[in-house]
Amino acid sequence: MLVMETCGFLGNDAEIKEFNGKRYISFNVAASDRHKDANGTVVSSTTWVSCLKLGEGALATYLKKGTQVFIRGDLSTKIFTNANGAQVGINCHVRELQLLSGGSKAQTDGNASAQQPTTTAQPQAQPAQPPYGAAAAPASEKNDDLPF
């Protein structure tokens, strides 16, 4: 079995499904790659990965469209035919999943008009620095807890 590791963004909200009495989470991840070819032209490509993760149904509430994730799991492929001809589907049976970021504010809390109160930091007074070349205060007068 091949192991797959990738970072990407969810293309849709995760769904909780059940098959043969086992619950799993189903979601799609868009893994993008950008590199320069031999001519120096930037080439971008996106690979879509269909993911399944057994159990952990509560995790699905955090897996919203646009969320960035890291996945590691067992890779499999499936060849199918559609209107565009033969296609290859990439599937991952996820063993490890880490949330790297949330979706947009509107997607995560469902209310774009609700905003968190913001606070502004007030400038703090800085202690006076001794002039350049002046002797520093003796160690007994220092207020830090550093052992050196």
Q: Is residue 143 part of a domain?
A: no
How many domains, in total, are found in the chain? 1
Q: Are 28 and 11 a contacting pair, CB within 8 Å?
A: yes
Q: Around Cβ 54, how many Cβ atoms within 10 Å?
A: 12
pLDDT beyond 70 at 89: yes
Q: Considering the entire predicted model, what is its pTM?
A: 0.62
pLDDT beyond 70 at 136: no
What is the rounded average pLDDT of the residues 70-79?
A: 92
Could you list the residue range(s) of the whole structural domain that residue 6 is in? Answer: 2-103
Here the tokens at position 139 are: 């160690």
Taking Cα atoms as reference points, which of 7, 4, 25 lies closest to residue 16?
A: 25
Write down the pLDDT at residue 14.
94
CATH number, residue 36? 2.40.50.140
Q: What's the pLDDT tens digit per position in 54-67?
A: 987 788 889 999 99
